[in-house]
């Protein structure tokens, strides 16, 4: 191996020298972090419980309450300086009976059941369901163009796929998800009575993907459901040949907001306790699967950061805080409440790292900030790259995460763990986002990478 | 996005400028390669057929013959300049009946069946099986030290695990696999009558992993089997408490060598046809699964390189040749025959790229060479990194691949596709190395990355 390193240098390979801030002690400690994570990490068994024993845990559900209790208990076992629950009021939406979506009396196919999930926050149909002709569109703008003449009394079918040529699948998601979030409002304004949306995935399969949507103030709320991509393809092909009528029946309900909690644990800093380094994910998930990748993974990784530091007997200079946010999926109440209270208490988050892109092999971190000297801070952090690159980690500009977003005004650094994105949208918001879809090593490497970055942030700050 | 790139520059991020050899046309063409691979790639449906319709295809088996026929037919559909079968004689080892491995009359546990596979090339037991006391060891050297007094008539149980703290799991494999390959010979020399080996994986599970082994000339061949890691842990724990006897029965057979084939297709170069750029994988696989990651993936990716070039109507300057090697797993007869014939024909392989590390998200390439000016060539190739990094690809020193190894003496560059390694040894040589363990996008990105590198090698050479 030595031979190879020598050769790398001979070959003129660009081996950046360590910045003044980093040294061999750091390389040694980061190696210990990885050893710990890969041999005595707790993220995997914690996730097993959260995903398989508790399961899907939409805000307001009994499972969400169980997840709060379970993760608090686990944090309590770590002998942290404090563990507490932070109250927040969350929306309480319940899916109700299994959705029915059916192509009705197609000349070619007869009746065909479509695999569907109501979108989160959607209203239901009447008890008898609705039946209407389907109009396929590719965009929100196309709905506006078609107008009420074409759409009144119809079901609008948004069928623009995620772009498979995007290398980062989150870009493909970003290019299609407006249909899910805003499609119902736009269609309702033109007189439509319901909306079907192609599931957000690049795969062609039978798995419907739920997800959040909302109604603009003043529009008539109409039912909105996602159908699987195979069913979307079938429906689209059929529409080439004949007018198609679809029956939809679902009865999700919105109940009054409920009290729930963010779960928080911290190791208090020995020198600068007022500078907080946050690690977190969101504890709630959609109800249809186990919420393993989204975002059980991010929660247990964040908990493991504290566990690893405690096992290594690391005494941080700054306060290291793990926050498991409630209600990211359909409201962000937890993230908002956390920032509000933090601001009220005049806290300062030097950095906040969120893991909410699945428990896959980490490829690095994305960072953003409203700090006026972010450029300089980012450059300082880039000096750590030689310590992170041996573990396959890079640092680039990009979003931090939804839950930590409300902390933006504190002008610290918001950081997102950036794992390999290829498989995420196979599982995202589905019934197959289950524990067995998570690889133990991939999950643990994410926890280790987060811990390594927190260590460097704690030791050197960002200035 | 433009804003981000600007900021990257402002932030002093190291954006290497393109070498003199590469330009925006290249970036554009590589983008087209990825678009093609991700929208009209054929690797995934080809793999589906190879893995699910043909299945495990050990050299000499009917399935191996079917794989030769199928891949040749598929290459024939691509309108290449030539497609041919290259004969080679391969070993013909057949597993026989389901192996029986059983802890016998443990005081604590009674009889316990262990999940096991005979290792490839292993001899069988007698018809009645063997029963003997088990001696656990951690290394080949320990066997030598224990000697015949301790081991005569015993079953040696090699139980040194793969090191989970290795970030690259191939390093962990390399650190443990001597037990599988050489364990039987070393134990036989000390009088042992059989060998059990802990399966080569970092996971604790019930899945036995087969794999190649060989007998040194002159030693008495004794049966050698792998047991699952859970069973290895159980056996080891039991051995702490009591003497343990194990029953082994298996009847693999070696038959006379059989005629088989490498499958080859090429697009002949327009300017320097005598300079060959090879892409390949191995067509044979172990018999116990579907050989999806190992190495169906590498085969269909290599075939897709040619398919993509044809679809893009690319006319290479150099000859681009896809080689699907036979018998990598238990003999390397295909790789050796290929190099021998190539040398006899005074061919020169400018570069050979093998994909044999699973169909996972590619992270780059490893390269080696016996060329005296490899250092310079490697530096030249490193100038292409700005074209490859947007796709997550790096270039580093390291092995090319087993099948292309015999080409080393031609002093071209031997290159291995280097995918994310975290999941590979979950599946390697097991019954769960199946088509559904392969992600379509990850597979396609590998094919695209290989095609991009071949394009650059073809256009610029290595000097």
Tens of pLDDT along B335-382?
999 999 999 999 999 999 999 999 999 999 999 999 999 999 999 999
CB contact under 8 A, B420 and A420: yes
Pick A442's closest partner by Cβ from B164, B422, B441.
B422
Predicted pLDDT at B11: 36
CB contact under 8 A, B361 and A422: yes
Average pLDDT in chain B: 95
Domain ranges of chain A: 22-93+256-460, 96-251
Q: CA of A449: which chain B residue's CA is closest?
A: B167
The contact set of B with A (CB < 8 A) is 4, 7-8, 10-14, 16, 34-35, 38-39, 164-165, 167, 169, 202-203, 361, 363, 375, 378-379, 382, 390-392, 396-398, 420, 422-423, 426, 439-442, 445
Q: Mean pLDDT of successive 10-residue segments in chain A (463 residues)? A: 35 40 86 98 98 98 98 98 98 98 95 98 97 98 98 98 98 98 98 98 98 98 98 98 98 98 98 98 98 98 98 98 98 98 98 98 98 98 97 97 98 98 98 98 98 98 97
Q: How confident is the model at residue B393 (pLDDT cuts 50, 70, 90)?
A: very high
CB contact under 8 A, A379 and B39: no
pLDDT, one tens digit per residue, over B216-232 is: 999 999 999 999 999 99
Query: Alpha-carbon distance B182 to B186, whole Å?
Result: 6
* CB-CB neighbors (< 8 A) of A167 in chain B: 34, 390-392, 445
Task: Indicate the CATH number of B19-92+256-460 among 2.60.40.730, 3.30.470.20, 1.10.287.130, 3.40.630.10.
Answer: 3.40.630.10
Tell me the whole-structure pTM to 2 decimals. Answer: 0.94
Predicted pLDDT at B23: 77
Q: Which of B17, B398, B440, B444 to mutate to test the interface with A (most CBs of A within 10 A)?
A: B440
Q: How far is A74 from chain B (nearest CA, A)?
A: 24
CB contact under 8 A, B202 and A7: no
Contact A289, A333 (CB under 8 A): no
* CB-CB neighbors (< 8 A) of B390 in chain A: 167
Q: How confident is the model at residue B4 (pLDDT cuts 50, 70, 90)?
A: very low
Query: Alpha-carbon distance A276 to A351, whole Å?
Result: 7
Nearest to B320 by CA among B263, B264, B262, B268: B268
pLDDT, one tens digit per residue, over A142-180 is: 999 999 999 999 999 999 999 999 999 999 999 999 999
The answer to whether residue B167 scores a pLDDT higher than 90 is yes
Task: Indicate the CATH number of A22-93+256-460 among 3.40.50.300, 3.30.499.10, 3.40.630.10, 3.90.1150.10.
Answer: 3.40.630.10
The answer to whether residue B13 scores a pLDDT higher than 60 is no
Q: CA of A31: which chain B residue's CA is closest?
A: B165
**Which class is domain B96-251?**
alpha beta
Catalytic residue among B48, B99, B275, B328: B328
A328 is catalytic: yes
Average pLDDT over residues B424-440: 98
Pick A439's closest partner by Cβ from B164, B397, B423.
B423
Q: How confident is the model at residue B418 (pLDDT cuts 50, 70, 90)?
A: very high
CB contact under 8 A, A442 and B423: yes
Q: How far is A109 from chain B (nearest CA, A)?
A: 27
* CB-CB neighbors (< 8 A) of A397 in chain B: 4, 7-8, 11
Q: CA of A8: which chain B residue's CA is closest?
A: B397
Query: Alpha-carbon distance A173 to A425, whole Å?
Result: 8
The answer to whether residue B461 scores a pLDDT higher than 80 is yes
Place of tokens 């009359």: B105
Q: How confident is the model at residue B22 (pLDDT cuts 50, 70, 90)?
A: low
CB contact under 8 A, A11 and B378: yes
pLDDT, one tens digit per residue, over B47-98 is: 999 999 999 999 999 999 999 999 999 999 999 999 999 999 999 999 999 9
Q: How far is A390 from chain B (nearest CA, A)?
A: 9
HEC assignment per residue over chain A: CHHHHHHHHHCCCCCCCCCCCCCHHHHHHHHHHHHHHHHHCCHHHHHHHHHHHHCCCCCCCHHHHHHHHHHHHHHHCCCCCEEEEEEEEEEEEECCCCCEEEEEEECCCEEEEECEEECECCCCCCCCCEEEEEEEECCHHHHHHHHHHHHCCCEEEECCCCCCCCCCHHHHHHCCCHHHHHHHHHHHHCCCCEEEEECCCCCCCCCCCCCECCCCCCCCCCCEEEECHHHHHHHHHHHHHCCCEEEEECCCEEEEEEEEEEEEEEECCCCEEEEEEEEEEECCCCCCCCCHHHHHHHHHHHHHHHHHHHHCCCCCCEEEEEEEECCCCCCCHHHHHHHHHHHHCCCEEEEEEECCCCCCCEEEEEEEECCCCHHHHHHHHHCCHHHHHHHCCEEEECCCCCCCHHHHHHCCEEEEEEECCCCHHHHCCCCCCCHHHCCHHHHHHHHHHHHHHHHHHHHHCCC
Predicted pLDDT at B456: 98
């Amino acid at each position: 191996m030595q031979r190879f390193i020598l050769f790398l240098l001979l070959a003129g390979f660009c081996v950046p020298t360590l910045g003044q801030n980093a040294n061999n002690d750091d390389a040694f400690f980061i190696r210990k972090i990885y050893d710990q994570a890969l041999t005595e990490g707790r993220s995997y068994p914690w996730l097993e419980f959260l995903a398989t024993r508790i399961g899907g845990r939409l805000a307001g559900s009994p499972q969400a309450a169980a997840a709060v209790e379970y993760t608090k208990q686990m944090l309590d076992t770590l002998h942290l300086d404090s563990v507490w629950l932070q109250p927040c009021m969350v929306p309480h939406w319940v899916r109700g009976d299994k959705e029915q979506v059916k192509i009705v009396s197609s000349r070619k196919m007869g009746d065909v059941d479509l695999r569907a999930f109501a979108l989160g926050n959607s209203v239901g149909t009447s008890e008898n369901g609705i039946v209407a002709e389907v109009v396929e569109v590719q965009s929100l703008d196309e709905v506006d163009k078609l107008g009420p003449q074409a759409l009144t009394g119809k079901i609008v079918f948004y069928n623009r796929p995620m772009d498979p040529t995007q290398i980062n699948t989150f870009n493909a998601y970003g290019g299609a998800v407006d249909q899910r979030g805003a499609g119902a409002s736009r269609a309702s304004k033109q007189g439509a009575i319901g909306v079907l949306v192609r599931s957000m995935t690049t795969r062609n399969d039978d798995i419907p993907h739920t997800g959040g949507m909302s109604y603009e103030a003043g529009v008539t709320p109409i039912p909105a459901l996602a159908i699987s991509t195979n069913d979307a393809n079938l429906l689209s092909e059929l529409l080439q040949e004949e007018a198609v009528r679809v029956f939809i029946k679902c009865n999700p309900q919105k109940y009054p907001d409920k009290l729930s909690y963010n779960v928080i644990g911290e190791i208090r800093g020995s020198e600068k306790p007022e500078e907080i380094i946050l690690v977190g994910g969101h504890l709630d998930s959609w109800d249809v699967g186990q919420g393993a990748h989204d975002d059980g993974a991010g929660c247990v990784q964040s908990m493991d950061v504290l566990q690893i530091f405690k096992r290594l007997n690391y005494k941080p200079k700054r306060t290291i805080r793990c926050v498991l946010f409630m209600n990211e999926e359909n409201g962000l109440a937890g993230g908002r409440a956390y920032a509000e209270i933090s601001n009220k208490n005049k806290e300062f988050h030097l950095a906040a790292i969120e893991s909410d892109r699945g428990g896959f092999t980490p490829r690095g971190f994305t960072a953003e900030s409203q700090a006026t000297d972010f450029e300089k801070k980012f450059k300082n952090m880039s000096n750590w790259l030689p310590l992170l690159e041996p573990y396959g980690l890079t640092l680039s500009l990009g979003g931090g995460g939804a839950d930590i977003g409300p902390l933006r005004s504190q002008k610290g650094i918001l950081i997102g763990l950036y794992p390999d994105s290829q498989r995420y949208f196979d599982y995202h918001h589905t019934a197959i986002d289950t524990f067995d879809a998570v690889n133990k090593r991939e999950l643990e490497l994410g926890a280790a990478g987060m811990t390594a970055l927190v260590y460097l942030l704690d030791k050197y700050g960002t200035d």
